[in-house]
Structure 1
Amino acid sequence: MNGGQRAMSRFLGRLGGWCARHGRLVLTLWVIAAAALMGGSIVLGSPVSNDASIPGTDAQRAHDLMRDGFGPGYDQGGTVQLVIYSPYGPLTEDRPKQAVERTVADLRTLPHVVQVDSPYRRGGIASNLRIGLVTVRMEGHDSTKLAENTQVLSAAAEPARQAGLEVVPADSSTPADKEIKTGPSEIIGVVCALLVLIFAFGTLTAALVPIFTALVSVASGLGVIGLLGHVVDVPKQAGIMATMIGLGVGIDYALFLLSRHRRLLATGLPVQEAVRRAVASSGGAVVFAGGTVIIALSALMLGGFPLLRTLGWITGISVVSAVLTAVTLVPAQLGLLGHRVNTLKVPFLGRRPESSGWGGLGAWVARRPWTVLVGSVLVLATLAAPALALQLGSLDEGYGAKGEPSRRAYELMASGFGPGINGPLTVVAKVTGSDAAVDRLSNAIEAVDGVANVSEAKKNDSGDAVMIQVVPEYAPSDARAAEVVREIRQLNVDGVQAHVGGEVAGLTDAADRMAERTPLVIGVVVLLSALLLLFAFRAPIVAIKAALMNLVSLGAAFGALALVFSIGLGSGLVGMDAPANSSYLQTIFFSVPIESYVPLMLFAVLFGLSMDYEVFLLTAVRQAYLKHGDNARSVAEGLGSTGRVITSAALIMVAVFTAFIAYPDPMVKTFGVGLAAAIAVDATIIRGFLVPATMVLLGRWNWWCPRWLDRLLPNLSVEGHEDEDAPARPPVPVMSGQS
């Protein structure tokens, strides 16, 4: 090995050996750390934020002007609406009207409430006279605590409920803004992973090692993320994303180390020596694989969306925790268990050699690489084809779970006032001219196609700013609502400088920013990942090809998302509830928009996770090639030695991600479907057929490196060696640029 390889291998080997010798100490320290971090986040709380502001956008300028000109009570978090529905008769009758007026009077007595608009004002009652809106403005209170404010205000509507009226709160957040709480999906995912591990190892004891490691890793990561909420704004999606990714990679990394350890143990090595060699040889691949995931997530900081940037690096904390537990806690457990790691065997499982089926598949692929290549490309193209129908948009409360108060309020408001009432636009203008300029602005807005209603302009106390509420004809998730935003922004009225804010406007700006920055993020992630592979394997063709292969698995992920959500084939099966008046076919083929930031987040996560399997497969192929120099044979041997482990790891990730589809939150469902589909395709078609076929066809060019580049590259390798005192292996020939 070169100096860089030997140094990394020696360090990881010594670390693993020390942890194996001091297993009780390492185990105790990790358990205490996980308990302390989680306990601290529970006791001190885990503050989260739904701040989706994007500096420099028109919606943000509108928000800032509204806050400065009209006060914090007019911003999004300071306004709550209560929807009142009379099932028996018009709200204008005496009995319901008295109950509603008592409710309005009680609301006005609550702390921090500065204004309550009665439904009996102009436009407050629907044309059917059964649905009314009570609008409450608050200030001097933490406007980010929208859920808490809504609960307090809803509880004050008891007089109306006692009169037989239905009162449901409606807030201005989207399903993706909601706080996502943990639930049974984590348990289902862990149980499924345990079953896969039992089938892979054949012993319950060995199967429990990755599970325990992942649970400690996730608990530590979530504890850190929870405590970080006191220092930085932590998105509400961070906890669930960290749990999903942390469980998957935590189990996988432990699985790779454990598999190598059991193979070494089977050769007769002492326990601690087997642990040392396992960490020395596979630990580098684990560290490198985790690094690629973190780099991919960190690239989200270039997306121009603060929420996405923060979500990326915070989710990376769970990956760091998974790597640390893999190279320390796993060796500690293996050192404590000794040969008992193979106890509690399950009958009829774990008796086949790990390379039995996969070695044969590798040899079969090596004999007919062109056939396999063409067949794989056709299958992958078929899977990715639906991605052409991918529809990005925004999720509104109409896509929330049935039975949720917010969805009920959404449906009542849409029924009584039209779908646009659920996503009103706020036009805020700085007045530089006379009142006539404000009138011209109102008239111009009213003339825009797709505008259903324009409220009377409201001036601030100083008279230098005006606010106009605009109700579109379309629901917030309708793409035509975004077009209304763009058309209003194109209006040019002398005497006023207008900006458009509100939920729809903010989501429109987010989608535009994502579309603008997506090529940059993709380019940076692919380039950095290819460079890391180049440093690791000193093979430019392999590095470029690996980066391109990961893009292929993304095509399959987006194809699955489009098929399930955009086309609607199976959206009902994953728990997306169609409107109440939908037919059976509409329920099954229920089209759901995908949030604009989801594809970019999926890209970063999937690219990093796919690189894990690429690293482990290439490491095994290269090690075989260094032994005998036969390319086709090394591909077959590499696939044979890693195929079963990679498949088991992929099954675990697919099980974990699939379990999260049961979450009621649409954003979690989209991530679950996309991640599960991509990992399944990546670990089977791509790693089992496409990658081996291309490596066989490339022959010695897999490991070609021009001399000038070889001299420039640092001595970095992920493949390690089980015995640092073993004689050096024959080097891979470094060919000239013309060879």
Structure 2
Amino acid sequence: MASWLGRLGGWCARHGRVVLAVWIILAGALTAGTLVFGRPVSSDVSIPGTDAQRAHDLMRDGFGPGYGSGGTVQIVLYSKDGSLLEAGRKHAVEDALAMVRQVPHVVQVDTPYRVGGISSNLVIGVITVRLSGQDPGKLAETSQRISEAAEPARRAGIEAVPADNATPADKDIKTGPSEIIGVACALLVLLFAFGTLVAALVPVFTALISIGVGLAVIGLLGHLTDVPKDASVMASMIGLGVGIDYALFLLSRYRKLLADGVPVHDAVRRTTAGAGGAVLFAGGTVVIALSALVLAGFPMLRTLGWTTGISVVCAVLTSLTLVPALLGILGHRVNALRLPFAGARGTGAHGTPSGWTRLGRWVAGRPWRVLLVAALALGALAAPALGLRLGTVDDGYADKGSTARRAYELMQTGFGPGVNGPLIVVAELDEKAGTGEPPSRAVKELKDRLTYVPGVAYVAPAKVNTSGMSVLFQVVPEYAPSDPRAVDLVHAVRDLRVPGAQVHVGGEVAGTADVGDRIAERTPAVIAVVVLLSALLLLLAFRAPVVAIKAALMNLISLGAAFGALSIVFSYGLGSGLVGMDPPVPMDGSSLTTLFFTVPIDFYVPLILFAVLFGLSMDYEVFLLTSVRQAYLRSGDNRRAVAEGLGATGRVITSAALIMVVVFVAFVAYPDPLVKVFGVGLAVAVAVDATIIRGLLVPATMALLGRLNWWCPPWLDKILPNLSIADHADDDDEVRPPAPDPGRRLVTSGRP
């Protein structure tokens, strides 16, 4: 593998301007394609085989507009100066209703002056607008037009706030400012790491080209399959981080070879053959981890997995082709425009141990004590994960001042917390109910039973579909959608047994409950597949089963620390205000300022974080192990190899991790709660992984295992393909393996 990667790097270096032009043209053409043809999005939040999905399917069959794919939009009215029944205000509202009816795709408008449409204090009302025949992905645009049509009410001094029935996956997430902040911070880190402006700009430029291509491909694929709107934020976060990191690793290796006097094209070839192989395997582990999300049984997770994987693949491709091309063009000018007091000249001499080398020697000299301290620290970080609170992040946690949150708070104040997350109860009937009075016995009994379920605040009148074989009730709980008791109510309603009726429960809360159940059921399989396939990839990379298994276990440990941090910040609320989460407004409307209030984490978030973090953690593992393996083949001294490997990679891994952290922290500033959760979890995991895990735990365990690190049984060595990245990393450097221990098989470079 090293040979063809080296040839690829050498070819790109010799034809640098051609490769650069191809990437720029490709990025420009794909981006232009998205501008011409658009980026269609259609979040598939279906959960095949669940009760909520069955309720949703039944709801689309003959219940009229607003219950199918068209959707529903509500305009929440608030008159702070008096009753909505006052003649002038009522006339203004009726004018607004008339204008709303003229908006395209509006087929039914329910006046607030109906039963249940106005609050008991007469100052809050709800206009319900039912749609038909419109693209579900354009619900936000339709909501805007409906809101504009309500202008007559606003002119009368009435606040009119739109609220649609979009799911969290439908929310339009725009991360431009976060990406700009992340790139700017990453550039500062690179300036201090390399000390030259030209060298710092190479990883940033490469990552931007990679993200441009990746996002354009994802946008155009929206014409062929459902792509959620939040796919772009995931692709941007991960693509920007790994794109800069992979280029950083290659650039660091190249500058070291230049400092050692290697000619430019030869240095590029050897860089791509060695560090390029590590990049290829590291990117492969991320893609494998993301691909395992297909087993989650949740279409949105599957889509997020492959869309994010596209951004990683683009990062690998640009690293293996565009970076060598840029290095071939720049040559020694990569060290131009040196900044004073920043970076280190060259990459360090072999004769003077770096601080990381001294740390490696210190750890290797007392591995048991370091192992114990690191284990205790990681245990303390991971312990809070036991209190992780999963649930629904409803619009009550949206950005303060947003229309979604304002509508949520007005609805809660006027009609109670449960009105923001009603249950849609749909029953299949054994006998035709008809649409007249009196209702059938099954329908009447079902309504009576629903009314007396603990936690039910209100049951709307029954609505029978055109066939008469299904009936629908809107059930308003006493609890907010994010309240765990709302999920308990879903299960209580599903447990109802009514003769002649088969009950199904849909709606946001019911869907959340089913997502939680499905993910809890599938999580063990996803974890097993990710761990096994990643360990197998490491086995192919290093031909060392002990190292492969140990690396997978180390990644699981760093994940525990990440989930512990999420639990501290969000589930225990110790600092949720510090990440920009505004507490819900009390029912009495009084102000509330605090840094500590709990925020639930969506059920599917931990599984996505697991896949992403497991793959990212493998990046640093691969680069560290590659360096340790090379040092071991030179000296045959395991503890010395650990110290040299840590010394050779400590600075670059720290810089790469710092870039990842600042990129992810930049996304914490985005107002969407989902993005904040991802930003905090990813930033903490990478920070812990690059410090405690790679700086202390991994060197300590490798020092304790000794030559067993690189042991491979003869039968396994015979069947493994010769893909090792460490044994050939220096290509034409002389690497002599140490003599193997008696009775053990030590694989050094391919099969003997």
Task: Check whether the contact 1:59–1:502 (CA below 8 A) recurs between aligned residues.
Answer: yes
Choose the corresponding residue for 2:330, options 337, 343, 365. Answer: 337
Q: Counterparts of 1:400-411 in structure 2 under 5 Å?
A: 400-411=398-409
TM-fit CA distance, 1:711: 2.0
Paired residue total: 732
Q: More deviation in 62-71 or 373-382?
A: 62-71
- Whole-Å Cα distance in 1 between the matches of residues 231 and 408 of structure 2? 26
| Secondary structure at the counterpart of residue 573 of structure 1 | helix
| Secondary structure at the counterpart of residue 133 of structure 1 | strand
| Secondary structure at the counterpart of residue 427 of structure 2 | strand
Choose the corresponding residue for 1:562, options 538, 546, 567. Answer: 567
- Whole-Å Cα distance in 1 between the matches of residues 480 and 70 of structure 2? 20
Q: Counterparts of 1:64-83 in structure 2 under 5 Å?
A: 64-71=57-64, 73-75=66-68, 77-83=70-76
Choose the corresponding residue for 1:695, options 694, 702, 708. Answer: 702
Q: Counterparts of 1:469-618 in structure 2 under 5 Å?
A: 469-581=474-586, 587-618=594-625
Alpha-carbon displacement from aligned partner over 1:687-738 (angstroms, at most 9, x marks no partner): 0000000000111111122222222222221226355455563267387579
Aligned to 2:749: none
Aligned to 2:711: 704
- Residue 673 in 1 paired to residue 680 in 2? yes
Choose the corresponding residue for 2:654, options 647, 655, 665. Answer: 647
Aligned to 1:446: 451
- Whole-Å Cα distance in 1 between the matches of residues 135 and 590 of structure 2? 43
Aligned to 2:423: 425
Task: Check whether the contact 2:629–2:727 (CA below 8 A) recurs between aligned residues.
Answer: no
Aligned to 1:359: 357
TM-fit CA distance, 1:109: 3.1
Q: Counterparts of 1:26-41 in structure 2 under 5 Å?
A: 26-41=19-34
- Residue 256 in 1 paired to residue 249 in 2? yes
- Whole-Å Cα distance in 1 between the matches of residues 246 and 727 of structure 2? 16
Q: One-letter code of the match for 1:527?
A: L
Task: Check whether the contact 1:707–1:736 (CA below 8 A) recurs between aligned residues.
Answer: no
- Whole-Å Cα distance in 2 between the matches of residues 564 and 141 of structure 1? 40
Aligned to 2:373: 375
Q: One-letter code of the match for 2:390?
A: L
TM-fit CA distance, 1:547: 0.2
Aligned to 1:120: 113
Q: Counterparts of 1:222-241 in structure 2 under 5 Å?
A: 222-241=215-234
Q: One-letter code of the match for 1:254?
A: A
- Whole-Å Cα distance in 2 between the matches of residues 546 and 733 of structure 1? 23
- Whole-Å Cα distance in 2 between the matches of residues 700 and 468 of structure 1? 68
Unpaired runs of at least 5, structure 1:
1-7
- Whole-Å Cα distance in 1 between the matches of residues 598 and 737 of structure 2? 57
- Whole-Å Cα distance in 2 between the matches of residues 439 and 695 of structure 1? 70
- Whole-Å Cα distance in 2 between the matches of residues 733 and 91 of structure 1? 88
TM-score, normalisation: structure 1: 0.97
Q: Counterparts of 1:622-661 in structure 2 under 5 Å?
A: 622-661=629-668
- Whole-Å Cα distance in 2 between the matches of residues 577 and 484 of structure 1? 27
Task: Check whether the contact 1:73–1:138 (CA below 8 A) recurs between aligned residues.
Answer: yes
| Secondary structure at the counterpart of residue 165 of structure 2 | coil
Q: One-letter code of the match for 1:599?
A: P
- Whole-Å Cα distance in 2 between the matches of residues 229 and 638 of structure 1? 44
TM-score, normalisation: structure 2: 0.95
- Residue 195 in 1 paired to residue 188 in 2? yes
Q: One-letter code of the match for 2:379?
A: A
CA gap of 1:127–1:325, structure 2 versus 1, over 3 A, is: same
CA gap of 1:732–1:601, structure 2 versus 1, over 3 A, is: farther
Alpha-carbon displacement from aligned partner over 1:599-632 (angstroms, at most 9, x marks no partner): 0000000000000000011111111111121010
Alpha-carbon displacement from aligned partner over 1:648-669 (angstroms, at most 9, x marks no partner): 0000000100100000111000
Task: Check whether the contact 1:271–1:339 (CA below 8 A) recurs between aligned residues.
Answer: yes
Q: Counterparts of 1:454-465 in structure 2 under 5 Å?
A: 454-465=459-470
- Whole-Å Cα distance in 2 between the matches of residues 711 and 401 of structure 1? 58
Q: More deviation in 280-289 or 99-108?
A: 99-108
Q: One-letter code of the match for 2:378?
A: L
CA gap of 1:720–1:42, structure 2 versus 1, over 3 A, is: farther
Q: One-letter code of the match for 1:718?
A: I
- Residue 621 in 1 paired to residue 621 in 2? no
Choose the corresponding residue for 1:57, options 23, 31, 50. Answer: 50
| Secondary structure at the counterpart of residue 66 of structure 2 | helix
| Secondary structure at the counterpart of residue 723 of structure 2 | coil
TM-fit CA distance, 1:584: 8.7
CA gap of 1:735–1:296, structure 2 versus 1, over 3 A, is: farther
- Whole-Å Cα distance in 1 between the matches of residues 738 and 217 of structure 2? 44
Q: One-letter code of the match for 1:570?
A: G
Task: Check whether the contact 1:76–1:172 (CA below 8 A) recurs between aligned residues.
Answer: no
Aligned to 1:268: 261
| Secondary structure at the counterpart of residue 574 of structure 2 | coil
TM-fit CA distance, 1:580: 3.2
Aligned to 1:3: none
Task: Check whether the contact 2:41–2:137 (CA below 8 A) recurs between aligned residues.
Answer: no
Task: Check whether the contact 1:706–1:734 (CA below 8 A) recurs between aligned residues.
Answer: no
- Residue 103 in 1 paired to residue 108 in 2? no
RMSD (Å), alpha carbons: 1.7
CA gap of 1:500–1:76, structure 2 versus 1, over 3 A, is: farther
- Whole-Å Cα distance in 1 between the matches of residues 523 and 11 of structure 2? 44
TM-fit CA distance, 1:185: 1.0
Aligned to 1:685: 692
Q: One-letter code of the match for 1:370?
A: W
| Secondary structure at the counterpart of residue 498 of structure 1 | strand
Q: More deviation in 317-326 or 377-386?
A: 377-386
Q: More deviation in 396-405 or 582-591?
A: 582-591
- Whole-Å Cα distance in 2 between the matches of residues 314 and 423 of structure 1? 30
Aligned to 1:4: none
Task: Check whether the contact 2:630–2:727 (CA below 8 A) recurs between aligned residues.
Answer: no
- Whole-Å Cα distance in 1 between the matches of residues 465 and 101 of structure 2? 22
Unpaired runs of at least 5, structure 2:
434-439, 747-752
TM-fit CA distance, 1:115: 1.4
CA gap of 1:622–1:737, structure 2 versus 1, over 3 A, is: closer
- Whole-Å Cα distance in 1 between the matches of residues 3 and 399 of structure 2? 53
Choose the corresponding residue for 1:16, options 3, 9, 21. Answer: 9
- Residue 217 in 1 paired to residue 224 in 2? no
Alpha-carbon displacement from aligned partner over 1:55-100 (angstroms, at most 9, x marks no partner): 1111111111111232453137521111111111111121111111
- Whole-Å Cα distance in 1 between the matches of residues 652 and 90 of structure 2? 68
CA gap of 1:515–1:687, structure 2 versus 1, over 3 A, is: same
Alpha-carbon displacement from aligned partner over 1:294-319 (angstroms, at most 9, x marks no partner): 00000000001000001101110010
CA gap of 1:174–1:396, structure 2 versus 1, over 3 A, is: farther
- Whole-Å Cα distance in 2 between the matches of residues 552 and 585 of structure 1? 38
TM-fit CA distance, 1:161: 1.0
Alpha-carbon displacement from aligned partner over 1:409-428 (angstroms, at most 9, x marks no partner): 10000000000000111111
Q: More deviation in 114-123 or 601-610?
A: 114-123
Aligned to 2:437: none
| Secondary structure at the counterpart of residue 232 of structure 1 | coil
Q: More deviation in 577-586 or 590-599?
A: 577-586
TM-fit CA distance, 1:208: 0.7
Task: Check whether the contact 1:175–1:665 (CA below 8 A) recurs between aligned residues.
Answer: no
Q: One-letter code of the match for 2:391?
A: G
TM-fit CA distance, 1:525: 0.4
- Residue 161 in 1 paired to residue 142 in 2? no
